[in-house]
Amino acid sequence: MIRAARRPIMFFLLAALSACNAQDSKECPGSYVDPLIGSGGHGHVFVGANVPFGMVQLGPTSINQTWDWCSGYHQDEASVIGFSHTHLSGTGIGDLFDVTVMPVTGEVTYARGTIEEPESGLWSMADRSQEIAEVGYYAVPLTRYGIKAEMTATARVGMHRYTFPKADDAAIVIDLQNGGCWDRTTETFMQAEGYSRIVGYRRSRGWAADQHVYFVAELSKPFDSFTLHGRDQMYGRASFTTAEGEELVMKVALSAVSIDGARHAMETELPGWDFDATRREALEAWEHELARVRIETPDEHTKRIFYTALYHTMIAPAIFSDVDGKYRGADGNIYHSTIPHYTNFSLWDTYRAKHPLMTIIQPERVGQFVNSMIDICDQQGDLPVWHLWGNETNCMVGDPAIPVVADAIVKGIKGFDRKRAFAAIKQTAGTLERGKQYRSTYGYIPCNLMREAIAYDMEYALADGAAAEAAKVLGHEDDYEHFTRMSHSYRTYFDMETGFIRGVDDKGKFRTPFNPYYASHRADDYCEGNAWQYTWLVPHDIEEYATLFGGREVCIDRLDSLFLAPSTIEGAPSPDISGMIGQYAHGNEPSHHIPYLYAMLGAPHKTAKQIREVMRTQYRDAPDGLPGNEDMGQMSAWYILSALGLYEVEPASGRYWFGSPIIDRAELSVEGGTFTIEVLNNSATRPYIKSIKLNGEHYTLPYIDHADLARGGVLTIEMSNEYRQ
């Protein structure tokens, strides 16, 4: 969605491209998506053209690739070194930006260049005043060359349309070096096939240790010449003579397997040259997926935040297999599967809300995700931690795939072998690495033997709790008892004197000195957090945990203090600790479940109060409208579920606790048909749930089971300005 000043143009375009009614969110949710939300601040979202869960994310890549430019785009600076076919969305680390294409005129320098030297490299400033960012489409003028750039995409093919000025020295440059900021190019190949096709590959090492990207590029106009330039000839220039206003279309297909795989993608997904038709099909693909959740609310800002959030949840995971089913496995070998294979799993982030949301509205795709994870386990020996273009990065702590796989087992998601899935859970939990060797010896991870010991151990304990739930559903009593016992390892760290989770060494002694406000990025007992936040990372055992505090009431009072404490973070904290309300840090994932603990402890009115506060203060209809990294859809998924009034607090529990819905009505496309949420007497001054009915019957539980939700029905929630004790 483009900026408000040009909104009538956007609606005209949407009317031309889609049969849906652009004035009605129920009919055309894509009209409320603004891809620029989260493109400022620390949101790090991808801005460009793609289709849901596609391999290609085609968009601008900036010359600036510092932390806030992890996605290649940021509101604060409008340089463009080219339009890359792969991007990350919302991560705290950068990579990808593969097969970067830049239209130029005249002589250029085939190197990265610097922003202090306007004529260096290939880069240009983009005219953001004329930028258009919509679902499945992106356009911006390049001021250095006087060229208008437009792009759209299919799942594996990026499509460009460049409008050139009159020039005898026009060109399209394919850049396989891309400056080497986030990764290092290790091997490239590029050659012309005739006068309208270029093929090649790029192999690189960065966050992804050994990334393979093969491509086939085709142009609508034959080039006069094709020449290689720059260091190790990583730049290929296809030169043309152009008339004023001449449009040149380019298609670039990708594969992680081979050039032939990319060629097959081109032949299958985009054999023609109709840019507008491809743009329309991309929009229709997005409309189809976004329509899985239809909301009604009089607040236009809420609609834009909500549908943009839903859009962000469907950028990743990305399809990784070719159209013929071949894919590059985690061990580097080539495999074939009749089930689509995916990559880009940011699991430490997304197991909390993103994947639970997918089990509701994308159950068939969840089965494919889980199949991919099981295949990865077979190939690398354990389930993925953070899988990036087929590479295990082992980024972040714990075993975050276990809650996702266990959740799918518990909820009866179809499309994968549950026996094989549980075997993968057991195999992963049983590996003696990444701190689990210490848990095997001590029953916990001693803080003097490993950095981030508390974060690793508590995430392992949480995953063990999820594994226990899966074991119970499958009838594996011995496994259930084992995983339940292991899920209690966090108790070792609880200090009854201070009421905080603290590091414990291999002698059983608490680490001293102790400061709950202290955090040091990847250098202390916690990971992107401090004792205030990690003290509450026990969603799987909150009833028993409350007894350590001295009972529910004491636990609730202690939880109150989290939101009332000063927002000071001492030491050398990670920038991810953001979005502060007291010491609650909504800008980072370990805090996301915490407001819902009140509901689990019997104080749902306090959940309602905090949830409304978070939605009101941490999410905005603006480029800096996210409180922290989007993290491949997690930050957005939290908002979606919370706006609907539901949240799965305990991983793999199969139940969603009620919070405080802000929409008036929602229709969710679920496995059994439609699940409707009706919210009566809702307003900013009525945040508390007064009563609930399920299919017309009075409902008294503080949560709803996934099975009830998935079969379809009507949930009626009446709101009030008073809360029940």
Instruction: Report mean pLDDT in 10-residue bins for the chain, 725 residues.
Output: 35 42 62 98 97 98 93 96 97 95 96 86 96 98 98 98 98 87 93 97 96 98 97 96 98 98 98 98 98 97 98 98 98 97 98 98 98 98 98 97 98 97 98 97 97 98 98 98 98 97 97 95 89 98 96 97 97 92 97 98 98 98 96 98 98 98 98 98 97 97 98 98 82
Structure tokens at 670: 């679920």
Residues 669 and 292 sit within 8 Å (Cβ to Cβ): yes
Give the full edge-to-edge strand order of the sheet including 100-105.
59-61, 82-84, 100-105, 167-175, 235-242, 225-229
Of 273, 254, 270, the closest CA to residue 199 belongs to: 254
**Predicted local confidence at residue 4, as pLDDT:** 33
Residue 314 φ then ψ, to 5°: -115, 20
CA distances from 360 to 318, 355, 365, 496 (A): 19, 9, 11, 39
| 444 Rama class: left (phi>0) / alpha (psi -120 to 50) / beta | beta
Dist CA 635 CA 448 (whole Å): 33
Q: Per-residue b/e over 556-569, b at no fewer than 16 CB within 10 Å?
A: bebbeebbebeeeb
Q: How many CB atoms lie within 10 A of CB 445?
A: 29
Which runs of consecutive H residues, i.e. helices, occur in 389-522? Answer: 401-410, 418-429, 436-442, 453-474, 477-486
Look at residue 179 in the predicted model and tell me its pLDDT. 55
If you ran DSSP here, which 8-state letter would residue 509 be given? Answer: P
Task: Please provide the DSSP assignment of 336-367 as one string.
Answer: E-SS--EE-EEHHHHTTTHHHHHHHH-HHHHH
Distance (Å, whole) CA 85 – CA 671: 33
The residue behind tokens 């200090």 is 495
Tokens 């009209």, located at residue:
31
Three-state DSSP class for residue 292? coil
Q: What are phi and psi of 272, to 5 degrees?
A: -95, -170
Domains of the chain (ranges; CATH) run 38-290 (2.70.98.10), 293-720 (3.30.2080.10)
- Could you tell me which residues come within 8 angstroms of residue 475 by beta carbon, excluding any fewer than 6 positions away? none
The total of other beta-carbon atoms located within 10 Å of residue 256's CB is 24
Give the pLDDT of residue 314: 98
Question: Taking the model in full, what pTM does it have?
Answer: 0.95
Per-residue pLDDT at 178: 81
Task: Name residues whose C-beta falls within 8 Å of residue 19's C-beta, 6 or more positions apart in sequence.
Answer: none
Read off the DSSP letter of residue 287: H
Per-residue tokens: 299: 């607040």
Cα 57 from Cα 380, distance rounded (Å): 27
pLDDT score at 523: 75
Element (H, E) at 181: none
Question: What is the distance between the alpha carbons of residues 271 and 34, in angstroms, rounded to a whole number?
Answer: 30
| pLDDT for residue 116 | 86
User: In this structure, are residues 49 and 68 in contact, taking their beta carbons and an 8 Å threshold?
Assistant: no
600 near 542, Cβ under 8 Å? Answer: yes
Q: Are strands 665-670 and 703-705 parallel, antiparallel or unpaired?
A: unpaired
Return d(Cα 98, Cα 94) in angstroms, integer: 12
Nearest to 650 by CA among 310, 406, 424: 406
Orientation angle between helical segments 418-429 and 363-380, nearest 10 degrees: 50
* DSSP secondary structure letters along 139-178: EEEETTTTEEEEEEE-SSEEEEEEEE-SEEEEEEEEESSG
Q: How far apart are the first and last CA of the chain?
A: 44
Report pLDDT for 354. Answer: 98
